[in-house]
Amino acid sequence: MKSTFNEAQINAINHFKGPALVLAGPGSGKTTVITHRTKKLIEEYGVNPSNILVITFTKAAAVQMQDRFTRLMDGKYYPVSFGTFHAVYFKILKYAYNYSADNILREEKKAEYIKEIIGKLRLEIDDINDFVREVIGEISLVKGEMIDLNNYYSKSCPDESFRRLYKMYNDRLVRENVVDFDDMLVMCYDLLVKRPDILKMWQDKYQYILIDEFQDICRVQYEVIKLLAKPQDNIFIVGDDDQSIYRFRGAKPEIMFQFKKDYEDAEQICLSTNYRSTDEIIKSATILVNNNEKRFFKSIKGTGKLGEKVEIATLKNDKEETKYILKLIDNYLKLGYEYNDIAVLYRTNTNPRQLVDKLLEFNLPFRMKDVIPNIYEHWITRDILTYIRIALGSRSRADFLQIINRPKRYIARDAFYEEEVSFWNLKEYYSDKVYVIERIERLKYDLQWLERMSPYEAINYIRHGIGYDEYVLEYAGYRKMRPEELYEILDELQEMSSEYKNYDDWFKHIVEYGEELKKQNAEKVNVKEGIELSTMHSSKGLEYKVVIILGANEGITPYRKAMLKDDIEEERRLFYVAMTRAKERLHILSVRERYGKEAEISRFVREISAIKKQ
């Protein structure tokens, strides 16, 4: 064994038969361990390479793992199976049911089916794309966790609406003779349980199973793996419960604890040396994650690279935070760092909007791991802009239908029977209803005021004078959302509009901003050099010399939806993942106020700071 391996790595690589749990902290060389163990199984233990299965979670990771293994074997081909869970399980279904790629439901088709069903059910949804994404996630959760639909309570809409939607979606799959990715898992499990002969064939095929990123596994994936691994139970899992950050997809650190119960004789090895980060970064990250209760205890250590202290800075507001990030970037460039060495990480893809605006303004190169949604395309913004368009003279039927009952005025669609709306005709339509005529007159009055306002004043008047905030409150209740989520869009929109004195300048900015954002989103794959902008989730598995975490405030991280203790622990793990992407320098930024309101510094910052002061 090469001397470059530490003792824990050697023990993991040397493991031969039976179950093993390898706890692999950040930067601990887990990929190296998996590829070298695979090599050892073949070259020293005499295992037939076609009997080895290596599973990871993404196609890119599987290809990368296979490439690493091929280089390790000096380019010689060995028929080891490298693949994702879905690829492996579909292979089993393909053999049993003669499925082809045509039987797999594409993701865009799935969204199309869901939208059609929403229309048939006549669900009143404004944020249709967000809703479709949330429903797809919930369907995955129900299937992946093998939950009885009658015992599932939706987080995105009334429970009965979700159940009807779920059943209609599955009926559509049956009619079209297609399966989605979640069905692959469930059907594979059912097949192996009901057909011992087929199960035996695949058990004989995959006699040694190695799983990377085991902390991301969901229940049905785990149940299938347990079946395949029998009777030898040569199952070698590598993961870090402290980096389990996909609870919304059914991944839970509890499954790693369950592994220890299911395989009591499993060898447990901890890869505790972090080769990536400086000791100061490791120390701060460890202080944070140690606050979680549901975890395997690990004593993570570095390699003696002390490094600079982690900077924790609190700025006045978002604008000052953005200025500070630009200053940090400038300082690092002067010190000889390159753009590619620097990453700005955040909790959600809406957090860096102001930063993106300034990077575009100053022509600084950047790459986005995630598509940053254009706030001016948000349905709430569309409502606001529609009000302003009507105030400036639009009489389009479509515009009036967009906002007429936001807030409720109890004016029916049938009242708009012409393409060009006339207030006179509208009042004639309701000539027998004085209270409706009063609402129409009030709308005319409000629009006259809006015409003379600045963009900032107009948004404020629409919210509080016209009563749009009340509509948002009502809609949030229907969608089982916290109204703060929607109010924040309005706050941000209002804040961004404050730089413009008139509608013409603001509208010009909206067009230019949208064009630049589309250009960035289209070219993000081709950008070779630039500051990396990424959500914490998308940064997992990556590393950078310099990491700047923005928005370390309550409601952002931990996210406002995290209410239960398990949710908070997951948010803490996510912050831990973000911190441990840093190799040399780490900056954690928070603000004292957002959109003119006091903002509370994240508890995670307080946890790190409190112990560091001792």
Q: Give the C-alpha separation, 169 to 142, whole Å.
A: 13
pLDDT exceeds cutoff 70 at 1: no
Q: Which two tokens stand for residue 465?
A: 């004078």
**DSSP code at position 355:** H
What is the model's pLDDT at position 351?
Answer: 87
Exposed/middle/buried for 322, CB within 10 Å: 0-12, 13-18, 19+?
Answer: buried
pLDDT exceeds cutoff 90 at 415: no
Confidence class of residue 563 from pLDDT cuts 50, 70 and 90? confident
pTM: 0.86
pLDDT exceeds cutoff 50 at 161: yes
What is the model's pLDDT at position 516?
Answer: 82
Of the listed ranges 10-19, 514-523, 573-582, 603-612, the one predicted with least confidence: 514-523
pLDDT exceeds cutoff 60 at 2: no
**DSSP code at position 559:** B
pLDDT exceeds cutoff 90 at 477: no
Where do we find the tokens 């409502």? Answer: 383
pLDDT in tens, 231-245: 999 999 999 999 988
pLDDT in tens, 4-57: 899 999 999 999 999 999 999 899 999 999 999 999 999 999 999 999 999 998
What is the model's pLDDT at position 175?
Answer: 92
Nearest to 588 by CA among 558, 551, 563: 551
Q: Which two tokens stand for residue 151?
A: 């015992």
What is the model's pLDDT at position 36?
Answer: 97
Confidence class of residue 524 from pLDDT cuts 50, 70 and 90? low
* DSSP calls for 365-406: -EEESSPPP-GGGSHHHHHHHHHHHHHTT--BHHHHHHHTTS
* Residue percentage of the chain with pLDDT more than 70: 98
Q: Give the C-alpha separation, 161 to 167, whole Å.
A: 10
Quick count: other Cβ atoms within 10 Å of Cβ 547?
29
* Biggest alpha carbon–alpha carbon distance for the chain: 92
Cα end-to-end span (Å), the chain: 42
Q: Which two tokens stand for residue 560?
A: 């406002």
Confidence class of residue 191 from pLDDT cuts 50, 70 and 90? very high
Confidence class of residue 99 from pLDDT cuts 50, 70 and 90? confident
What is the model's pLDDT at position 589?
Answer: 97
Confidence class of residue 614 from pLDDT cuts 50, 70 and 90? very low
CB-CB contact of 216 with 244 (8 Å): yes
What is the model's pLDDT at position 496?
Answer: 87
Amino acid code (one letter) for 491: D
Over range 251-270, report the average pLDDT.
91
pLDDT exceeds cutoff 70 at 336: yes
Exposed/middle/buried for 503, CB within 10 Å: 0-12, 13-18, 19+?
Answer: buried
* Residue 268: C-alpha distances to residues 18, 214, 228 (Å): 11, 14, 21
What is the model's pLDDT at position 527?
Answer: 67
* Residue 206: C-alpha distances to residues 28, 66, 95, 466, 534 (Å): 27, 17, 15, 65, 37
pLDDT exceeds cutoff 50 at 512: yes
Over range 393-401, report the average pLDDT.
92
Amino acid code (one letter) for 315: L
pLDDT exceeds cutoff 90 at 194: yes
Q: What is the CA radius of gyration of the chain?
A: 28
Q: Give the C-alpha separation, 480 to 363, whole Å.
A: 40
What is the model's pLDDT at position 289?
Answer: 94
Quick count: other Cβ atoms within 10 Å of Cβ 65?
22
Average pLDDT, the chain: 91
Q: Are strands 582-591 and 544-549 parallel, antiparallel or unpaired?
A: parallel
Sign of the torsion angle spanned by Cα atoms 534, 535, 540, 545: positive
Nearest to 580 by CA among 608, 559, 612: 608
Nearest to 491 by CA among 349, 371, 405, 598: 598
Per DSSP, the three-state class of 73 is coil
pLDDT in tens, 126-144: 878 888 988 998 998 888 8
Q: Give the C-alpha separation, 467 to 471, whole Å.
A: 7
Phi, psi of 237 (to 5 degrees): -105, 140
Q: Give the C-alpha separation, 118 to 132, whole Å.
A: 9
Amino acid code (one letter) for 262: D
Per DSSP, the three-state class of 248 is helix
Alpha helices in 430-463 (DSSP H): 434-451, 455-460
H-run or E-run covering 565: helix 565-579
What would the 3-class secondary structure string for 182-205 be? HHHHHHHHHHHHHCHHHHHHHHHH
What is the model's pLDDT at position 444?
Answer: 92
Before 455, cis peptide (omega within 30)?
no
* Beta-bridge mates of residue 223: none
Over range 549-569, report the average pLDDT.
91
What is the model's pLDDT at position 611?
Answer: 54
Higher pLDDT, 341 or 562: 341
Residues 6+ positions from 434 with CB-CB distance below 8 Å = none
Q: Give the C-alpha separation, 469 to 163, whole Å.
A: 30
Higher pLDDT, 582 or 526: 582
